[in-house]
Amino acid sequence: MRRIAIAVCLLVLGSTVLGQAGRGVIAGKVTTDQGDPAAGVTVQAKDTAGKISSVVANGKGEYRLANLPAGTYEIAVPQMGLRTARYAQPDVVIEAARTLTFNIMLMPNNFGIIGDDAGFLQMYNKYAGIKGPAPRTRDGHPDFSGVWLANVDPNPEPAQMLPWAVTEWNRRRDRAFEGMPTSRCLATDPTLTLPVFYKIVQTPTLLIHLFEQDPHYRQAFLDGRAHPQDLDPTWMGHTTGRWDKDTLVLDTVGLNDKSWLLQATWLPHTEMLHIVERYNRPDLAHLNIDVMFEDPATFIKPVERHVQWLFTPGEELFETLCAENNKFLEYSAFK
Amino acid sequence: MRNTMVVSVAVASVLAGTPAVAHHSFAAEFDITKPVALAGTVTKIEWTNPHAYVFVDVKDPQTGAVTNWEIEMGSPNGLTRLGWTRTMLKPGDAVTIEGSQGRNKANLANARSVVMTATGKKLGAASSEAAP
C-alpha cells in the first residue's frame, strides 16, 4: 500500500548565489513513471509551521519555487486523478542563497491500469486555461451547470476517529479495501468526490448531479423544504440547499451506514452522519467545494475536505452500468 | 485524552498510503509483485462496464502450448477518453501486454501497457499525462 511516491529523487546542490540572504530556491522536473513530463501538476513546499508554497509545473514538467526562507520542508505533489499517487518527501533542506535541484518521479497509483484514470492530466491541461467570470442564472445566483472534472483534496488531513472506527478502517486496509461498495455495483459515496467527471443541472428549485457510477444521480432540493422527519436511511441521504450570498450550502442527512466516505479516505460512519457542503464558483473555470463530515459516533471532531473542480464544457458523460459485466467478486482474493 | 492522541497518530500514519480507485480495489484482485509480459493474438474483446477485457492466446515458446489470457482494463468511458474505440483491437491482432497477474484466477492479468506488435503503437499510453 505504501506506494506513495518515495520514488527516485535526484538531489544536487547547486551553487547559484542568490541576491536575497536567508532565502533559497528549489527547482526541477516532474515526470511520470513512464518518464513523460507531468505537465500541470502542482508542486508544494510545506515548512515546519505548516505554511505551503506552491507552483504549477509547465508543459515540460518543470517547476521552480523561489524565495523560500531557508529551512526544512516537505516537498509534495498532490494526487491528480487516479493514475499517479500522492508524492511526499519530508525533510528536504533548502539552504540560503542556493538552488536545490530536486527532480520528482511520480509513482503509479492503482497499478496504472489503462482507462481507470481517463487521462486526468490530459483533460486537466486541456481546460486549465479557461478564463472568465462565473455565469449567473436569471434569478441572479451563480450558475453551476455543466460538466466538471473533480479532484480529491490536495492536502487531506488525517481524520480523528473513535476506536471502533479506527479498527474498522484498519480492517478495510488489511483486506485491500476490497469491500468498497462500488466493487459490488452499490453506490459511490454521497459527496461525489472521486477525480472523475460530474454533470450539474441547476434550476431555481433543484440542483441535480449526474455521474457515471451508481446510483447515477443525486438531487438537492432548493425550494425551501426541510428534511423529512424520521427518514429511512439511504445511500445518498436527503439533501436540501440554501443560498448564503453566492455560496450554495447543501445539507445532507438520512444516510445509511453502508457507504464509504471515499473522499475522506474511505472512512466509515454511522447513520448519525451529517454532511455540509459549500459550493462556490469564483470564476468560469473553477468550483470550490468545502465539505464537512460530522458524526459524533465516529469522528472525534468533524472531518473537513476542500476540493476544486475544473469546468470542462467540451466533455460529456457516458452510460455506465456496473452490473453489466462485474467480475470483481469472482476474481477478488478475499471471500 | 491519551487514547485520543494514540488514535489520531495511528490513523495519520496509514492514510497517506491509500490508493484511490474509480470502481474497486485492484490490490484485492491483482498482485503488483507479479508482473507479466505477454505476447500473443487477440481472440475476443468484452467492451463492457465496469471493465473492458481483452482475451489473448499466448503460445509457450518451449512447449508450444497455447493459453488464453484474460486481460482487465479500465471502463469504456475511461478508455474512450484516452482515445480508444471498441474496434481498436480485433480478433487476430498481435499484441504485447504488460501488467500484473491476478490473485485468484489463473491466466488473469490487468493491463498497464498494450502495444500493437505490427506497428509498435502503444494504445492508451501513459504519455496522456503530458501537455497536449
Residue A321 is nearest to which of B49, B72, B82, comparing CB atoms? Answer: B49
**Residue A263 pLDDT:** 64
* Crossing angle for the helix pair B2-15 and A163-174, to the nearest 10 degrees: 20
CB A180, CB B24: distance < 8 Å: yes
Q: Is residue A300 part of a domain?
A: yes
Q: Is residue B40 part of a domain?
A: yes
A330 lies within 8 A of chain B by CB: yes
Cβ distance A115 to B100 less than 8 Å, yes or no, reads no
Task: Report how far residue A179's alpha carbon sits from residue A173's, in angstroms, rounded to the nearest whole number.
Answer: 10
What is the residue range of B73's domain?
25-124
A284 lies within 8 A of chain B by CB: no
Read out DSSP for A254-309? Answer: -B-S---BTTTTTB---TT-EEEEEEE--SSSEEEEEEEEE-TTTBSS-EEEEEEE
**Residue B116 pLDDT:** 92
**Over residues A146-173, mean pLDDT:** 92
Residue A16 pLDDT greater than 60, yes or no: no
Give how far the C-alpha of residue A51 lies from the chain's centroid of Cα atoms, to the nearest Å: 20
Residue A150 pLDDT greater than 90, yes or no: yes
**Over residues A216-226, mean pLDDT:** 97
Q: Is residue B18 part of a domain?
A: no
State how far residue A68 is from chain B, nearest Cα, in angstroms.
25
Residues 222-281 of A with CB under 8 A from B: 262, 265-266
First to last CA, chain A: 20
Which residue has 480508444 as its cell numbers?
B84
**Residue A15 pLDDT:** 37
A51 lies within 8 A of chain B by CB: no
Q: Three cell numbers at A200?
A: 450539474
A122 lies within 8 A of chain B by CB: yes
Sign of the CA dihedral with B50 first, then B54, B60, and B65 last: positive
Which residue has 513523460 as its cell numbers?
A36
Identify whether residues A138 and A95 lie together within a single domain.
Answer: no
The residue ranking higher by pLDDT, A216 or B123, is A216
The single-letter code of the amino acid at A110 is: N
Residue A285 pLDDT greater than 80, yes or no: yes
Identify whether residues A193 and A161 lie together within a single domain.
Answer: yes
What H or E segment, with its residue span, contains residue A174? helix A163-174
Identify whether residues A16 and A102 lie together within a single domain.
Answer: yes
What is the residue range of A176's domain?
129-331
Q: Is residue A121 part of a domain?
A: no
Give how far the C-alpha of residue B80 lies from the chain's centroid of Cα atoms, to the nearest Å: 15
Number of domain units in chain A: 2
Q: Is residue A291 part of a domain?
A: yes
Give contacts of A109 with chain B, Cβ < 8 Å.
19-20
Residue B27 is nearest to which of A160, A176, A185, comparing CB atoms? Answer: A176
CATH number at residue B38: 2.40.50.1010
Output the pTM of the full model: 0.88
The vertex-B21 CA angle with B19 and B27, nearest 5°, equals 65
A314 lies within 8 A of chain B by CB: no
Q: Is residue A118 part of a domain?
A: no
Q: Is residue A117 part of a domain?
A: no
Helical residues (DSSP H) of chain B, grouped into ranges: 2-15, 76-81
Judged by average pLDDT, the poorest of A144-148, A300-304, B25-29, B123-127 is B123-127
Q: Is residue A4 part of a domain?
A: no
CB B29, CB B40: distance < 8 Å: no
- Average pLDDT, rounded, for chain A: 90
**Residue B122 pLDDT:** 85
Identify whether residues A286 and A185 lie together within a single domain.
Answer: yes
Identify whether residues A274 and A150 lie together within a single domain.
Answer: yes
Task: Report how far residue A155's alpha carbon sits from residue A79's, in angstroms, rounded to the nearest whole number.
Answer: 9
What H or E segment, with its residue span, contains residue B113? strand B113-116
Q: Is residue B92 part of a domain?
A: yes
Q: Is residue B16 part of a domain?
A: no
Surface-to-core class of residue A316, CB atoms within 10 Å of its CB (0-12 exposed, 13-18 middle, 19+ buried): exposed
Number of domain units in chain B: 1
Judged by average pLDDT, the poorest of A269-278, A281-290, B16-25 is B16-25
The single-letter code of the amino acid at A181 is: P
CB A55, CB A62: distance < 8 Å: no
Cβ distance A3 to B17 less than 8 Å, yes or no, reads yes
Residues 22-41 of A with CB under 8 A from B: 32-34, 36-40
Which residue has 511520470 as its cell numbers?
A32
State how far residue B83 is from chain A, nearest Cα, in angstroms.
9
Cβ distance A113 to B12 less than 8 Å, yes or no, reads no
CATH number at residue A185: 2.40.128.20
A126 lies within 8 A of chain B by CB: yes
